[in-house]
Structure 1
Amino acid sequence: MGITIETNHLKAVLDEKGAELTSLKRKDADIEYIWQADPKYWKRHAPVLFPIVGSLKANTYTYKGKSYHLPQHGFARDMVFELIDQKEDAVSFRLKSTEETKKMYPFDFELTIGYALGGDGLTVDYQVKNTADDEMYFSIGGHPAFNVPLEDSFEFTDYYVDPSPMKSRINLPLKEGLIDLEQRTLGQTNTTIALNHELFENDALIYETKGLNSFAIRNEQSKHSVTLSFKNFSYVGIWSTYPKESPFVCIEPWVGVADTLESTGELTGKLGIQKLAAQDTFHTKYAIVIK
């Protein structure tokens, strides 16, 4: 059973497994903005990606001369978090390292994820604390999936992604789940991106980001939209399934990214990896606004 938070006009539901957002609605409209995890297409709603984002070469990395194995996007999304605080309009969860996690990821950590409703949307807050006396390496990211279409009277192709600011960003293409740096290009995010399923033929669209960014899913024929905005994330992924034509699109803010084709597997040299000093805390957040 989910944990519900609400305001006068918004309602969200969270799950202790993965500290995952499973529903986000406006009370004045019968619209579900979050994908409802139909396993026919994709079994998740909005998983948290930690302690890696994307795939490792052969699901393996090395640290201090020892090899470890991690699945795509890490383990946090499949673990049960502790509920540490709950208010009417906000909730927080925490995941701590254990002997089992250290078999996959040899660091002591506390991952705290907070959700707070306000205005027209939801703020998602990430805090990663290094609880050891040695440095720690990690990545973290969001993977929220939004229903497209938002209303039954429309089609997937009636929608588009609206980037802000409208400027070109470096596009990092994937090849068999890994970043192909040699093929990186200047992505055309200086205009809107019309949605069609073939857009995801080569997996996610991945862009480098700096500063304040927002990516909205809109439809010229409807007043309803969803916007995800962030400041301190290095990358964003835009994804849906292909060739299976799924009725959702993910907008994914990431601090970190998949291994490159040239990756040596050494964690400390991984593209986008974050280094956190002993007993230090990393903090970032993103917001979802629904109209």
Structure 2
Amino acid sequence: MYNISFTPDRPLTYHLEDDQSLARLSLVPGRGGLVTEWTVQGQPILYFDRERFQDPSLSVRGGIPILFPICGNLPQDQFNHAGKSYRLKQHGFARDLPWEVIGQQTQDNARLDLRLSHNDATLEAFPFAFELVFSYQLQGHSLRIEQRIANLGDQRMPFSLGFHPYFFCREKLGITLAIPANDYLDQKTGDCHGYDGQLNLTSPELDLAFTQISQPRAHFIDPDRNLKIEVSFSELYQTLVLWTVAGKDYLCLEPWSGPRNALNSGEQLAWVEPYSSRSAWVNFQVSTE
């Protein structure tokens, strides 16, 4: 049986539940449509820094932030378009703005639909009229997020889109990764390296972009909790980013539509034609090993 409820405490939080699978998902539409909690049979799947979340002046650390219209950052935070320069801070503005709940259902799954549209502030940073509609679907041990990116204007709209899931893990030393790539870019140094499946996840910080992936999925296995977490995605997503920091109980495996600075460089840049839309999806699957 599927249920959707909400707690009116500030901030307003929606809870999606699958009673049969003992799965629960919590979202805060007013804070960037942020997923703050996902548990499966009592196990936390996501890391979440709630103390940091209580201070709106700080960026969120945890859950599943949305990245739009850029992933990563731009040189000097500048986006250049049609002879003009615009300022976009790291990961864009979608994760900071309030999203509107536009639908829900509990028949085949627990589903909550959210919408974000352009406004005067977004047009100053990103000169395009747009509408995003995201559908969060909890069923069993999977979370599927379907997306529609609509261009409401008369000029072709470039964009990058991504998710930044913070997966909870305590012991990184024994984790095994399966990323379908032969090399990666170290985003801290700018150096490229070959990839043979071996990484030191206990390094002070890893910030790696796999921009040439051969399959639309990746996973890692956490032997500490006997969990396998798989990330799969539609063809829009062409880059995977791995980020983790020593001493923090998270591992981020992030599907991005393109690499950093794609809005300026054009590398793997996505577009939506005037008065049309594109659709995409990302799926997170949890299983026991």
State TM-score, norm by structure 2: 0.83
**Alignment partner, residue 197 of structure 1:** 203
TM alignment of 1:22-101, pairs within 5 A: 22-26=36-40, 29-38=41-50, 43-88=61-106, 89-101=110-122
**Alignment partner, residue 208 of structure 1:** 211
Conserved 8 A contact 1:94-1:110: yes
**Alignment partner, residue 6 of structure 2:** none
Counterparts of 2:158 and 2:148 in 1: how far apart (Å)? Answer: 14
**Alignment partner, residue 187 of structure 1:** 195
Conserved 8 A contact 2:163-2:255: yes
Amino acid at match of 1:216: H
Amino acid at match of 1:256: G
Change (3 A) 1:204 1:69: same
Conserved 8 A contact 2:102-2:114: yes
Conserved 8 A contact 1:81-1:93: yes
SS in 2 for 1:78: coil
Counterparts of 2:272 and 2:37 in 1: how far apart (Å)? Answer: 32
Counterparts of 1:209 and 1:135 in 2: how far apart (Å)? Answer: 26
Conserved 8 A contact 1:161-1:195: no
Counterparts of 2:157 and 2:242 in 1: how far apart (Å)? Answer: 28
Conserved 8 A contact 1:121-1:288: yes
Counterparts of 1:255 and 1:4 in 2: how far apart (Å)? Answer: 28
CA deviation digits over 1:97-133, x for unaligned, max 9?
0111100110000011111012421101121100111
Q: Structure 2 regions of 5+ residues with no counterpart?
A: 1-11, 53-58
SS in 1 for 2:149: strand
**Alignment partner, residue 281 of structure 2:** 285
Q: Structure 1 regions of 5+ residues with no counterpart?
A: 150-154, 261-266
**Alignment partner, residue 143 of structure 2:** 122
Counterparts of 2:264 and 2:156 in 1: how far apart (Å)? Answer: 10
CA deviation digits over 1:182-222, x for unaligned, max 9?
x333322xx36463234x3xx41110244633222313464
TM alignment of 1:5-20, pairs within 5 A: 5-7=16-18, 8-9=20-21, 10-16=23-29, 17-20=31-34
Counterparts of 2:60 and 2:95 in 1: how far apart (Å)? Answer: 14
**Alignment partner, residue 253 of structure 1:** 255
**Alignment partner, residue 174 of structure 1:** 187
SS in 2 for 1:225: strand
Conserved 8 A contact 2:32-2:97: yes
Which is worse superposed, 51-60 or 85-94? Answer: 85-94
Conserved 8 A contact 1:14-1:20: yes
Say if 2:123 is the partner of 1:105.
Answer: no
Counterparts of 1:211 and 1:231 in 2: how far apart (Å)? Answer: 13
**Alignment partner, residue 274 of structure 1:** 270
Counterparts of 1:255 and 1:235 in 2: how far apart (Å)? Answer: 6
CA deviation digits over 1:107-165, x for unaligned, max 9?
0000111110124211011211001111111100010101012xxxxx332323233x5
Change (3 A) 1:132 1:63: same
Give, in angstroms, the shift of residue 231 of structure 1. Answer: 3.5
Conserved 8 A contact 1:137-1:268: no
SS in 1 for 2:123: helix
Change (3 A) 1:213 1:13: same
Give, in angstroms, the shift of residue 42 of structure 1. Answer: 6.1
State TM-score, norm by structure 1: 0.83
Counterparts of 1:63 and 1:215 in 2: how far apart (Å)? Answer: 34
Counterparts of 2:217 and 2:202 in 1: how far apart (Å)? Answer: 20
**Alignment partner, residue 226 of structure 2:** 223
Q: Percent identity between the aligned chains?
A: 24
Conserved 8 A contact 2:211-2:259: no
Amino acid at match of 1:110: E
SS in 2 for 1:58: helix
Pick from 245, 248, 256: which aligns with 1:241? 245
Counterparts of 1:77 and 1:250 in 2: how far apart (Å)? Answer: 16
Counterparts of 2:266 and 2:83 in 1: how far apart (Å)? Answer: 15
SS in 1 for 2:227: coil
Conserved 8 A contact 2:79-2:264: no
